Amino acid sequence: MKIIIFSVFVSISAAAPAPVSPVLIPKDPYWLKVYSVMPFEESWNIELLVEDFSKGLPKALVVIGDEGGRLTQPLKNFASSRIDESQQLSLGVPKGKAKRLLRGLRKLGEMRDPVINRLNAPLPLKEIREKIDLLMKEKAERASVLSQVPAAAEASEEILEHLLRVEAEAARVEASILINLTVRKK
């Protein structure tokens, strides 16, 4: 009889949904949110087909430079093939110049529209500023209380430091597009 009662209890308790811990649900504002300072908002994957690879690649590099593009590493470090005459490149270009860069590359050969992937949402600078202001206000107004809870004060300082760094970096860095380009002989 005890076994039957126990199995009924197990069946009933297994069917009941588990309670959701309020700790797992982020509240607004979510203080431990990490904001990315990566300057690339999107990545574009492009293949440029040129008639003459030995002339097309140098011309592509000139177009890239003219539009403010910068390779992410030295040219010699990118993958290339002498057999199929191709060169892979990865570069950053200011968002405002990316479409002009595409037009310039299209003049050198055949190129489809880029495959675009979103990397980062724009930083919510208003939200970041509001958090900074609130933390700084509490730090000034409640210094004596915070001194009594040093771990909480240190955590607050670390959050404030992160927010200030993100805000400063956002002001310093222009949004860019990461372009993964393969120049290949037709």
pLDDT (tens digit per residue) in 58-94: 999 999 999 999 999 999 999 999 999 999 999 999 9
Q: Is the pLDDT of residue 41 over 90?
A: no
- Total domains in the chain come to 1
CA–CA dist 108, 141 (Å, integer): 62
Calpha distance 138→105 (Å, rounded): 53
Residue 179: name the closest of 108, 121, 101, 103 by CA.
101
CATH of the domain at 97: 3.30.70
**Residue 98 to residue 50: CA distance in whole angstroms:** 20
Structural domain contains residue 134: no
Name the residue range of residue 47's domain.
Answer: 40-120+173-185
Q: Within a domain: residue 2?
A: no
**Given pLDDT bands bounded at 50, 70 and 90, which one contains residue 2?**
very low
**Domain membership flag for residue 111:** yes
Residue 17 scores a pLDDT above 90: no
Q: What is the pTM of this model?
A: 0.65
87 within some domain? yes
* C-alpha–C-alpha distance, residues 10 and 2, integer Å: 12
